[in-house]
Structure 1
Amino acid sequence: MKHLKILFFSLLFLLSNLAKTQVLTWEPLFSTDADSVTIIYDASQGNAALEGVAPPIYAHTGVITNLSTGPSNWRYVKANWSANLPQCQMQPLGGNLYRIGFRIREYYGVPESEQILQLAFVFRNSNGSVVGRNADGSDIFLPVYQPGLYSAFTQPAIRPLFVNEGETFNVRVQTSQPANIDLQLNNVSVAAEPGTQQLDYEITPSGSGQNWVKSVVSDGITEVVDSFYYYTIPASNVAELPDGVRDGINYINETTVTLVLYAPEKEFVFAVGDFNSWQMSDASLMHQTPDAQRYWVTITGLTPQQEYAFQYLVDGVIRIGDPYCDKILHKSNDVFISEETYPGLMDFPAQAQGNIVSVLQTAQEPYAWQTTDYVRPPKENLVIYELLLRDFLGKHDFATLADTLNYLQNLGVNAIELMPVMEFSGNLSWGYNPIYYCAPDKYYGTKNDLKRVIDECHARGMAVILDMVLNQADNECALVQLYPNLNQSIYFNAVATHPFSVFNDFNHESTATQYFVDRVNEYWITEFRFDGYRFDLSKGFTQTNSGTDVGAWSNYDASRIALLKRMADQIWLTDPNAYVILEHFAANSEEKELSDYGMMLWGNLNYNYCEAAMGWLSNSNFSSISHINRGWTNPHLIGYFESHDEERSMFRNLTYGNTTNPDHNIRTLGVALRRVQQIAAFLYTVPGPKMLWQFGELGYDYSINYPTNTDASRTDPKPIRWDYVDQPERLNLYKTYKALIGLRQYPTFQTNDFSVSASGYAKRIYLNHPDMNAVILGNFDIVSANVSGTFQHTGTWYDYFTGETIDITNTATTLNLAPGMFHIFTDQPLPTPELEFSVGIGPNTDNPENYNYALLCTPNPVQGQAQISYNLPQPAQVTLSVFTLTGQLVKTLYTGFQTPGSYNFTWNTANNNGMPVAAGNYLYRLEAGSYVETGKVAVLR
């Protein structure tokens, strides 16, 4: 049993670390937990991220013990990531070498009852922005031994070893105590030494192929066996690339594929997988093209429609999937994907190493497209629904989305924008950490289910836009791993050239990057029929180095413009009418030039619109929602006040809204919703493309930073509140959005002859068109106010939402508007929208004579008991309840019929089960007939 245990530990450590470059050396070699160990880190090895980085360098370190659940479960970590402790600072030795030493168990503070198995490391600079890891991005582990006999190959440093014929190398075996060492080559003894702790032997390879080196170490009681293989590369393996193939998986016929990998500066590549039992051989060694730029191999004898997993083994160290594959398997992530989401997902192959393999499949069943008469909406009139599948549907899959499109069609949007759906690290991400750019993420379902989503959208006249992330790639991306030392990468900058950079920054001036970008953009349009792209962080597509200066980064950049035009031109060669949308936020002169070229640009007015909605008017001017006010020629500004990246307007209203006027308290639900109606009216009536974020049409009121209200929760999953549709006041907001979006079918709301005036409390939009003129007036104050408007002519005008007429006798007309009230007037009658409540915050038909219900909770904050009181103007069915901020019912204080009068109820800060509630904020809610009002109370303990 002892022999087997030692052998297992040795093999485990070999698989996890020794197949990588020698990032660490340490003394003593067979350290026990009682030893003092000295560790030297070579920053030029592994991913080499810290090569050349000036000290100080810190070790971020912990241990793997017998109580760890896996290699990621570090215990007794010395310091938080941001803490620069002196005892974790590495001593610089020069030449990218750094040293640290300590007594193991004492240093980590591990109790004697817990067995230490490994020391775990990554290394970082002082602010943690640059991290040294293994070449494949994994953590670095060192073994910790129990007393006894152990052996290890300490030369060659990299195993398995790949050598050329005749290239001599040294083999060194070391042991923890004197023992007999027998060294064998292909099971034949070639060297032996009794009673020693080290044996050296030189091997000169002959002939190509795989050879096994084995050490048998014995002290007469215990025998320890260790082994590795070396592979001798054939002297010549150069061949021209076959005609008609390109980088990636090329399906020749139902039984044959040709694999092509672009890998300049690499020495050799094997293609190993299910099709060759994961064995390296001369047959699996890929040919090198004469220019040494590409590697290729043709695989024959495949079974039609059978899936085969495979990897590329590059230079004997790097294992990657095919960068252009349309499916990967991920050892760590796929176990969380259900059979319902992805039926029949094949298991990760036991023979594969690392976390990721590609999948190929000949004779795939093609998707049968149903929609043949689709006409793409004009980009100038797009209404885009931005959607994160994870937080939109409980099942988070393409198949369910395809069955949910009627909801969006009924709303009136004519495009959906899917946040990134290509394979990204993990399963629960927003998707801005892509790794395999041509493979739909399986957490969302199959690729044919995605095609069905697009097919169903096109059948409804709705475009589908893909959020494309080509500014950065995560560490598991094949292109990153192919050149782990980014200083040598043909794709990425070693240091990003701009602020707000995450992961690995693409160099868009590199021809290798440009080829990859063009292939990816071509793929999703041709294979999936996407209508275009929204390019994330497009301002980062530059080699002009602005460091951390956001202002300099935003300045006009001719080189960036040229790169974006080049990319757009290539997209338009594939599809001349494809949408090209940029998340840019650069100098207006640059955005105008890109707009003139045919691209669309995001117009973020979140702050100004939300200030207006909250009743804080000094910074509420959203006039730049108009492309005309920006000096643009074309309506290519995609205006919005909510996106995935901005705080939700309803959360702002309920949390920060103006409460100065108790009769117009913006922090109450009804008022908050109607203030969103108002800003929506001043968004969707402005000509040009517009966008909304999912569930904004229902007044989604969870913070972008839910649940902790810190940036740490920004990308965390959020509650999915389809039940909001059942709440009349929220459904009314949906219907308002629908009515506003419906106006955009009329030429008046597509005109280039309009103006937006949005300074101060009185905001106005004027639209001029031969068919119909329109005037939109709104009072954004929290008290009633006079709002003047200049109508295009006198005569009869029509209020869109009420259907009532107004006789304008003077073009310069002043109206007295209640707080939050707005009107859309047209000089032609239009169908009156079906709304359940009056629009705006004026007189409410469900609130007779603008009655003050005087809903109040005292004391507030409360510790013990609270009194919740209100007035009732007319008989009504009443419910008084307390909820959590997430909408869960806590306590029903009253439900029943009440006559007019004043009422008071005691809440003892307990729930319906009589249990005291936890300290925190809660909502109390009055429902009287169809009147609803909500307040917030803080409970102290």
Structure 2
Amino acid sequence: MMKKITLLFLIITSIGFGQVTITPNPFDLTTSITISLDANSTATDCNGLTNPSKVYMHSGVGSDTNAFDISVVGNWGSDDGVGEMTLNTSNNRWEITIVPKTYYSLSDTQANNVTKMGVVFRNAAGNQEMKDTGCNDFIFNVGSFQLTLNTPTNATTILNSGENLAIDAAASLTANFTLKANGTTIHQKNNAKTYSYAPTVTENTTFILEASNNGEVKSTTFQAIVKPTVLEAAVPAGMKDGINLNPSDNTKATLVFYAPGKEFIHLIGSFNNWEISDAYLLKKDTAKDRFWIELSGLNPQTDYTYQYIINADLRVADPYSTIILDEYNDQYINATTYPNLPSYPTGKTSHAVTLLRTGDAPYVWQTTNFTKPAKTDLVIYELLIRDFDELHSYDAVKARLDYLEELGINAIEFLPVMEFDGNESWGYNPSFHMALDKYYGNTTSFKQFIDECHRRGIAVIIDVAFNHASGQNPYYRMYNTDNGGYGGQASSDSPFFNPVARHSYSVFNDFNHSKQAVKDYVKRVSQYWIDEYKIDGFRWDLTKGFTQNCTGSEACTNAYQQDRVTILKEYADDQWEIDPSFYIIFEHLGTNNEETEWVNYRLDEGKGIMVWGNHNHQYNQATMGFGSNSDFSWISYKNRGWSVPANVSYMESHDEERLMYKNLQNGNSIGSYSVKNLNTALEREALAGAFYFTIPGPKMIWQFGELGYDISIEQNGRTGNKPILWNYVDNVNRTNLKETWSKLIQLKLKYEIFETSDFTLNVGNANGLNTIHLTDASATDIQNIVIIGNFGVTTQSITPAFQQIGTWYNLLEDNATISVTNTNAAISLAPGEFKVYANKPASLSTDDFTEQDNSTFKMYPNPAKTHFVLSEQTNEVTIFDITGKQVKSFSKEAINTNYFEISAFNKGVYFIKIKDTKNQIITKKLIVN
């Protein structure tokens, strides 16, 4: 939906549109004009109108530089009649008749400054629109006196030195014509309506053709470029595509640009006033299909911006930009999020530009000894920064890390943070895969966030969309049917994109991963994110799209495809070569045989690829109180024939409806018990957690799921902004859910039994009575777990099938004991009730690790780096991390010396549990830095 209207930088001043006509034309502001639209036209590649029942014109008038800067009429998304058009059934076109000066409420002074009218069309709701090619606004000249340039048809014409440039133009009224070349008048013609001339071109020339009538002057600007002689030279050794800083001379940088099939390329930018100059003509390495240039004389720590201009026509930013500036969206990024954001060179160029800086001091990482959590231990918190905190920044998320650490998660997964179209987005519309999107902050704040996560033992995973790119991607614009615009489709000579997607889930422009250029691109980009930001893993979006075999066939796309298996393994190998412990997670959701091949890939080396496991529907059926389709046993990796738990399972993700929303909308009920009751629904989320976190294998939570987020995924449109409801933490029933999930996560991470392969699930029963059994006879602590739960909506009795008789402990109820004399004696459970029983008690940090110390004990130093000592003798000293997991127990020898070595510990917060000589328990908090 268009909320802000902007004007594309125009060179040719007179443009006609077959899909939109104005009668009469040309016209004055006081002329009654009829604007006519063919809503079904295919002449534009930006027509989202689909059989609209209403069409609205959103329009304005303004100056040559902005067709909307004087007056705008229309209320986007409102069906209020303002700008509403009428369907003319005789020609099937939508029409509206206006007198511009009246319609736009122009004063005489305003009217004197109007030269352009801009128009966009929409449906009543504003969620469909029609714009011109490249998704630009329709722009019309205003005034009865107009100048039309017929030849040349392009803003830039390439000629050999000595060739003539044919110029042909027409004026709507008799005029005097003047042609200027680089500011000098070279030809004139008076008292005529047409103009023709063919000057000889021997140098790069900017032409201005002016036509004057009774003191009113119209002009049009165009260029002739003399085809340059390109110097053939090999790309210097060691240079990568994109920006190469000189490590020994920060006044230099070498730019390398892969551009097969292009004849010559100039560099334009802030260092040459954005003008084509052969002094900035790139050298060509034909053998490598690359162009390159070394810049010198740069001022360190200075913002430079640049673009490549290809064949003197097409302007593109560097495909390997690490930061880009955007002419339309940067103005809406505030200084708190991105301090000192460089300004876009408005009026100098158009489209995205690349930011270049040299001489910046490298970021000094504070956490250099981070060890990633084991894949089987992962508890991932999936997060969309925009909808997590109103400040929508890395700094804002960093400020919330205490909350997430209390929850107990050990990994954060961001939806894509690579540069995407616009500002507010889920991020699956990437335009520059190697650039950090500025809406969330700058590169330093991102690194500081990762650094702090690592200090706390939290891994950082980012979502990557390498299946496709948006129309703004330079490599798409360089080879498409839209003459370098954002629309159309990839041309057949594209080294990167398929003209038509070769799978059935097409979005944006489909990369052809069988091409070497695409492989090189993905590998180069991947290496940058791992090296530059110390990212711990990628979640690969839409891996089904990596095949070249399945145009238009969903059955084919979903079936095993050897070509995508091969290329995805190649990408995995490349990432593991950079970081041997890198997390690789595929969102495939495909056939078990294909996913099994990935799970087992290089598993004997301790690697293997993880895959997403979607169990949203089954868990939601259970939480709503319906036994049908509630069998979530596929969450067990053993049911898939795997030897390791490699499925990153989830009850919710960014792509699924929220459990609580459906609980409250569609939950089951009987008598006074109703899942549609908020507190009841929250209790059932706790029940689901008990049957989720306890199953061995990695798990994922969607943001605020731990508080029972109950806003539909479809509110404000599926990818639209959602309410940020931190006030949930003021609701004790919601925080009770979070505390229950936190305890379950602590159990999972602390006790060996939750990694056992000896477990069974009896779930999905029609009556809602479900059980889980875990057994590990070799575990050093808890060896047996029995979980029982009633997903039904009536009180029922369940057979627990304890593994042994004796004392059992209810782990989530302060280790309350029951004596089991009959392992199959029935236990009554109210609807939504559950129990987590173990053969031994558990120690949970939320219960046991608040600091307890009424003694005279002293511990110093604190914070500590290598060791600490205690002021009195003790019997036992044990250290636990923030999740409550025991990380060290000291020997009697160490206790007797009263010197406790911790030099191998990561930075963070720990709890020291001390048993003194009277066997009293004392707990102290230790900070390791």
Q: TM-score range with shorter-chain normalisation?
A: 0.7 to 0.9
Out of 328, 334, 341, the position equivalent to 1:338 is 334
**153-162 or 523-532: bigger deviation:** 153-162
**Alignment match, 2:689:** 680
Q: Which residue of 2 aligns with 1:383?
A: 379
- Partners of 1:326 and 1:257 in 2: CA distance: 14
Residues 344 and 183 of structure 1, relative CA distance in 2, 3 Å threshold: closer
- Which secondary structure does the structure 1 equivalent of 2:307 belong to? strand
- 8 Å CA contact 1:123–1:132 kept in 2: the answer is no
1:329 aligns with 2:325: yes
- Residue 220 and residue 654 in structure 1: after superposition, are their counterparts in 2 closer, same or farther (change >3 A)? closer
1:798 aligns to 2:809 (yes or no): yes
The 5 Å alignment of 1:276-315 reads 276-291=272-287, 293-315=289-311
1:256: which partner in 2? Answer: 252
Q: Is the 8 A contact 1:20 1:317 kept in 2?
A: no
Q: Is the 8 A contact 2:243 2:321 kept in 1?
A: yes
Deviates more, 1:621-630 or 1:225-234: 225-234
Are the counterparts in 1 of residues 60 and 71 from structure 2 also a CA contact under 8 Å? no
Distance 2:756 2:172 in 1: 83
Structure 1's 439 and 219: CA in aligned 2 closer, same or farther, altered over 3 A? Answer: closer
C-alpha spacing 1:721/1:15, structure 2 compared with 1 (3 Å)? closer
Kept in 2: contact 1:59–1:122 (CA 8 A):
no
Residue 238 (structure 2) aligned to one of 230, 235, 244: 244
Q: 1:275 to 1:19 in 2, by over 3 A?
A: farther
Do structure 1's residue 519 and structure 2's residue 516 form an aligned pair?
Answer: no
Residues 256 and 302 of structure 1 are in contact (CA less than 8 Å); yes or no, is this contact kept in structure 2?
yes
Q: Structure 1 residue 740: deviation in Å?
A: 0.3
CA contact (8 A) 1:424 1:436 kept: yes
2:834 counterpart (822, 828, 840): 822
Match of 2:509 in 1: 504
Out of 661, 686, 690, which is 1:651 matched to?
661
Could you tell me the TM-score, scaled by structure 1's length?
0.77
**Superposition deviation, residue 184 in structure 1:** 3.6
Equivalence for 2:859: none
Deviation of 1:152 (Å): 3.3
- Equivalence for 1:596: 600
The answer to whether 1:64 aligns with 2:76 is no
Is the Cα–Cα contact under 8 Å of residues 661 and 782 in structure 1 kept in the other structure?
Answer: no
Which residue in the other structure is 1:357 paired with?
A: 353
In structure 2, the CA distance between the partners of 1:259 and 1:555, relative to structure 1 (3 Å rule), is: same
Corresponding residue for residue 642 of structure 1? 652
SS at 1:512 equivalent: helix
Partner of 2:862: none
Give the secondary structure class of the aligned counterpart of 1:514.
helix
Q: How big is each residue's C-alpha offset from its partner over 1:29-61, in whole Å with a ceiling of 9 and x where there is no partner?
A: 9632657899999x99997x99xxxx9999999
Task: Quote how far apart the aligned CAs of 1:727 are.
Answer: 2.1
1:285, 1:256 → 2: CA distance?
16
Q: Secondary structure at the match of 1:231?
A: strand
Identity %: 36
Pick which of 572-581 and 268-277 moved more.
Answer: 268-277
Structure 1 gap ranges (5+): 1-11, 92-99, 707-711, 837-941
3-state SS of the aligned residue for 2:207?
Answer: strand
* Offset from partner CA, 1:772-812 (integer Å, 9 cap, x none): 11111111111111112322222222211121222223333
> Deviations for 1:709-740, whole angstroms, at most 9, x for unmatched residues?
xxx52222222222222322222111111110
Cα contact 2:12–2:222 (8 A) shared by 1: no
Shift of 1:399: 1.8
Kept in 2: contact 1:278–1:351 (CA 8 A): no
What is the CA-CA distance between 1:318 and the residue it aligns to? 2.2
1:609-636 alpha-carbon deviations (Å, 9 max, x no partner): 0111111111211111111112223210
Greater Cα offset, 408-417 or 503-512: 503-512
1:395 Cα deviation after fit? 1.6
Distance 1:21 1:238 in 2: 39
* Residue 736 (structure 1) aligns with: 740
Give 2:757's aligned residue: 752
Equivalent residue number for residue 227 of structure 1: 221
Cα separation, partners in 2 of 1:44 and 1:387, compared to 1, 3 Å: closer
Q: In 1, distance between residues paired with 2:299 and 2:528?
A: 25
Give the letter for the 1:817 counterpart.
Answer: L
Contact 1:801–1:833 (Cα < 8 Å) also in 2: no
1:564 is matched with 568
2:256 match: secondary structure? strand
**Secondary structure in structure 2 of the residue aligned to 1:430:** coil
Which of 136, 139, 149 is the aligned partner of 1:139? 136
Would you say the 8 A contact 1:57–1:89 is kept in 2?
Answer: no
* Equivalent residue in structure 2 for 1:762, among 757, 760, 769: 769
For 2:175 and 2:219, locate their aligned partners in 1 and report how far apart those are by CA, in whole Å: 12
* 1:407 aligns with one of 381, 403, 406: 403
| Structure 2 CA distance for aligned equivalents of residues 265 and 123 of structure 1 | 39
Change (3 A) 1:88 1:329: farther
Residue 16 (1) aligns with residue 17 (2): no
User: Deviations for 1:643-686, whole angstroms, at most 9, x for unmatched residues?
Assistant: 11112212222222112231x22122221111000000000000
Q: What corresponds to 2:855 in structure 1?
A: none
**Deviations 1:55-96 (Å, cap 9, x if unpaired)?**
99999995633388469978599999xxxx9979999xxxxx
Aligned partner (choices 699, 704, 707) of residue 695 of structure 1: 704
> Does the C-alpha gap of structure 1 residues 383 and 77 become closer, same or farther in structure 2, counting only changes over 3 Å?
closer
RMSD: 3.8
Correspondence list, 1:576-587, <5 A: 576-587=580-591
**Residues 59 and 90, structure 1, Cα contact 8 Å, conserved in 2:** no
In 2, distance between residues paired with 1:830 and 1:325?
51
> Aligned pair in 2 of structure 1 residues 71, 533: CA closer, same or farther (>3 Å)?
farther
* Change in 2 beyond 3 A, CA 1:688/1:511: same
Structure 1 counterpart of 2:275, which letter? Q
Distance 1:188 1:618, change over 3 A: closer
Give per-residue Cα distances to partners, 1:389-408, cap 9 Å, x unaligned: 11212222112322321221
Are the equivalent residues in 2 in contact too, given 1:122–1:133 (CA < 8 A)? Answer: no
Question: What secondary structure, in the 3-state scheme, does the structure 1 residue paired with 2:304 have?
Answer: strand
Deviation at 1:17, TM superposition (A): 5.9
Q: What's 1:530 paired with?
A: 535
Change (3 A) 1:88 1:587: farther
How many residues are matched? 794
Q: 1:109 to 1:678 in 2, by over 3 A?
A: farther
User: 2:73 and 2:122 mapped to 1: Cα distance?
Assistant: 15
8 Å CA contact 2:467–2:543 kept in 1: the answer is yes
Mapped pair 1:671 → 2:680: yes
Aligned equivalents of 2:650, 2:23: Cα separation in 1: 62
> What is the match of residue 151 of structure 1?
147
SS in 2 for 1:275: coil
Which residue of 494, 497, 508 corresponds with 2:499?
494
Distance (Å, rounded) in 1 between the aligned partners of 2:431 and 2:122: 23
Confirm whether residue 575 of structure 1 aligns to residue 556 of structure 2.
no
Residues 823, 110 of structure 1: alpha-carbon distance in 2 compared, 3 angstrom cutoff:
farther
Classify 1:70/1:431 alpha carbon distance in 2 versus 1 (closer, same or farther; 3 Å).
farther
Aligned equivalents of 2:675, 2:42: Cα separation in 1: 58
Deviations 1:817-841 (A, max 9, x none): 11111111111221267589xxxxx
Structure 2 length-normalised TM? 0.78
Question: Could you tell me which amino acid in structure 2 is paired with residue 594 of structure 1?
Answer: W
Distance 1:629 1:154 in 2: 70
Q: CA 1:89–1:166 in 2, change beyond 3 Å: closer, same or farther? A: farther
Amino acid at match of 2:800: G
Aligned pairs for 1:340-489 within 5 A: 340-485=336-481, 486-488=489-491, 489=494
Q: Is the 8 A contact 1:470 1:536 kept in 2?
A: yes
